Amino acid sequence: MDWFPLYNSIRIALISTVIIFFLGIFAAYYIAKTPRLVKGVLDVFLTLPLVLPPTVVGWLLLRLLGPKRIIGAWFLENFDVKLTMSWWSAIFATTVVIFPLMYRTARGAFESFDETLAYSAQSLGLSNSYIFWQIRMPYCRQGILAGTVLAFARALGEYGATSMICGYTPGRTATISTTVYQLWRTNEDRSAMKWVLVNLAISFVVLLAVNMLEKKNRAGKKGVL
Amino acid sequence: MSIYVDIEKNLGSFRLHAKFEASDETIALLGASGCGKSMTLKCIAGIETPDNGKIILDGITLFDSDKKINLPPQQRHTGLMFQNYALFPNMTVLQNIQAGAKREKNKAKRRDTVESVMDSFGLIEFADRYPHQLSGGQQQRVALARILVSSPRILLLDEPFSALDSHLRFKLEQEVRQVIRKFGKTVILVSHDRDEVYRMSDKIAIMSGGRIEVVGTNEEVFANPQTRSGAVLTGCKNISAIHRVDENTVFASDWGIELKLPGLTDGISSVGIRMRRIRHGNGENSFRCRVVEEIEDPFYYTVMLRPIGAKEGSPLGWLMSKEDWKRLKAPEVVVCLPPESILLLND
């Protein structure tokens, strides 16, 4: 069995998770501080990929990144790089699709933060970056971790936008989900089932981890109060 | 040394206008919840920004809207303690106090300060515990220790005892009083508890609807709270609106009685009398009253009286020791409201 799709799926999921970990937290932290109207608008906009069909996301991405479209053409001209149809093109798709998961869980975690902790820390002379990394993040740790794991799981399973932006080339852009589709289409049911089982196993472990984190989170909160 | 505060801030339903000064003493902001007293502390600490005004601490301008000065909280050296103590839950007692000492850049000095403060607060044995493993009283001690190692120029205590059980309060009050005495600089205490305020502070500022109505020493403010809300906040339970009948006489409409009040000035819209100040027997402003209700407390009685002839209105409360009421008990009694005990109040 050729394990490339597993390896490819995992590296795509890992890289996009690292990106949205910072992007999601950054967005959640700063958007929470904006005025209500701005917050409402940004919130809708940033959550949109969660409810849009992945094919719509894929189509929109192709409109931007395709070799003849604004961004795609610019990169092709200046760097001689084609943004679509390579293995890392999938990262664009997964990043957009999983961003709302991270953004929303991080925001939920930040909203539960007791601001008096930050106020006290400020008046004790602690810098804002110290407060963020040593007080706010540890306080919200479990929520953020749960969001990260969930986002990773979703990235691993992304199909629609991924297949549109990088297609299916065995050994180059194939991921687990595109491989399953391809195998099913070509009537290789036994091979498809292997990949289905692999995917099920990974998702199972990830969701178990999320559940355990959430439970720990609840227990931790009780302790704090 | 001293603090000078004169700030204004729009809070939606009302406008906060706090103006007071204090030297090396404890000043209490006494007010009902939502009157703007906590907001005033937050403005001093730099967590909230006033719309305009000035805050000067020990000669250093913390905030000045005209000169566009607004120091960040980190540079204000205000030791702010919240009701819930705001201990960092992910840090041990030791780490919490070390975090408070970060302003001191010399590591050896910092270690010494942390150690000596922890020792004086009896916290050495709790060094490795987390806040949620401590009792309310211990948490308060950690919070105070953490503030004191941060080299504050002023202490701002926001309802410091309201999160505690009443039996703990008394003991902790004593501890905090000791801390304040040792600190020796300005302390601003925010509270809605008149007894706590009286015991803890040198000066009281009564706050209502965002304004500081009266400032004075404890004795002055309790002897003459000047305003209706001042009277309520200092614990006066008998308050009535009045209209003037003639030069020395008013009609107290809530009680339905006429009172002689020599030397009454204009602008007085209500009168009050503390429940303990009502006297038994004849004298100026004496009335025969029917006993409407006797309320028994552990150590005293509150007797509710309705002056005979008064048709409507609220009864007067009269507080006395149990022994006294046992001696005087009757369905009708004669009491007098001595003019010198009547509080003259404006709105």
Task: Please give the domain boundaries of chain A with CATH numbers for all domains.
Answer: 4-224 (1.10.3720.10)
* A197 vs A210, more confident: A197
Instruction: Identify whether the C-beta of residue A72 lies closer than 8 Å to the C-beta of residue A84.
Output: yes
Q: What confidence tens digit (pLDDT) does each residue in A125-136 have?
A: 999 999 999 999
Q: How far is A186 from chain B (nearest CA, A)?
A: 55
Q: How many Cβ atoms sit within 10 Å of the Cβ of residue B302?
A: 16
Instruction: Identify whether the C-beta of residue B225 lies closer than 8 Å to the C-beta of residue B234.
Output: yes
Does A137 contact chain B (CB < 8 Å)? Answer: no
State the best of A112, A120, A130 to mutate against chain B, taking most chain B CBs within 10 Å: A120
> In whole angstroms, how far apart are CA A35 and each of A1, A32, A40, A109?
54, 8, 9, 19
d(CA B92, CA B128): 5
Order of all β-strands in the sheet with B343-345 = B257-260, B249-252, B238-246, B270-273, B343-345
Flag if B76 and A123 touch (Cβ within 8 Å).
yes
pLDDT over threshold 90, residue B273: yes
Instruction: Identify whether the C-beta of residue A199 lies closer than 8 Å to the C-beta of residue A184.
Output: no
Q: What confidence tens digit (pLDDT) does each residue in A95-122 have?
A: 999 999 999 999 888 888 999 999 999 9
Name the closest residue on chain A to residue B81, using Cα atoms. A120
What token pair was written down for A13? 């999921």
DSSP state of B308: T
Instruction: Identify whether the C-beta of residue B35 lies closer than 8 Å to the C-beta of residue B213.
Output: no
Does A117 contact chain B (CB < 8 Å)? Answer: yes
Question: Angle at Cα B171 formed by Cα B168 and Cα B174, nearest 5°?
Answer: 145
pLDDT over threshold 50, residue A222: no
Instruction: Identify whether the C-beta of residue A61 lies closer than 8 Å to the C-beta of residue A55.
Output: no
d(CA A51, CA B183): 58
Name the closest residue on chain A to residue B47, using Cα atoms. A119
Q: How far is A10 from chain B (nearest CA, A)?
A: 33
Q: What confidence tens digit (pLDDT) does each residue in A25-69 have?
A: 999 988 888 888 998 899 899 999 989 998 999 999 998 888 888
Flag if B74 and A139 touch (Cβ within 8 Å).
no
d(CA B339, CA B287): 13
Name the closest residue on chain A to residue B82, using Cα atoms. A116
pLDDT value of residue B267: 84
Cβ-count burial A100-125 (b if 16+ within 10 Å, e if not): bbbbbbbbebbeebbebbbbbbbbbb
d(CA A20, CA A22): 5
Nearest residue to B3 via CA among B19, B24, B25, B21:
B21
Q: Which residues of B touch A139 (CB under 8 A)?
A: 89-90
Q: Which residues of A touch B130 (CB under 8 A)?
A: 223
Q: What confidence tens digit (pLDDT) does each residue in A71-102 have?
A: 888 888 888 888 888 888 899 999 999 999 99
Residue A218's pLDDT band (cuts 50, 70, 90): low
d(CA A102, CA B49): 32
Q: Letter for the amino acid at A80?
A: D
ipTM for the predicted complex: 0.85
* A178 vs A2, more confident: A178
pLDDT value of residue B88: 96
Say if residue B265 is exposed, middle or buried (CB neighbours under 10 Å; 0-12, 13-18, 19+).
Answer: exposed
Q: Which residues of A touch B82 (CB under 8 A)?
A: 116, 119-120
Picking from A165-174, B19-28, B136-145, B237-246, which range would have the lowest pLDDT averaged per residue? A165-174
Per DSSP bridges, beta strands B203-208 and B26-31 are parallel
pLDDT value of residue B227: 92
Q: What confidence tens digit (pLDDT) does each residue in B212-263 have?
A: 999 999 999 999 999 999 999 999 999 999 988 888 899 998 998 989 988 7
**What does residue B130 show for φ and ψ, rounded to 5 degrees?**
-95, 155
Would you tell me the crossing angle of helices A89-111 and A137-157 to the nearest 10 degrees?
150
What token pair was written down for B227? 């305003």
Sign of the Cα torsion A87, A92, A96, A101 reads positive
pLDDT value of residue A219: 54
pLDDT value of residue B10: 93
What token pair was written down for A133? 């990394």
Say if residue A201 is exposed, middle or buried (CB neighbours under 10 Å; 0-12, 13-18, 19+).
Answer: exposed
Nearest residue to B130 via CA among B112, B117, B147, B142:
B142
Q: Letter for the amino acid at A60?
A: L
Residue whose tokens read 């005025």: A35
Flag if B88 and A117 touch (Cβ within 8 Å).
yes
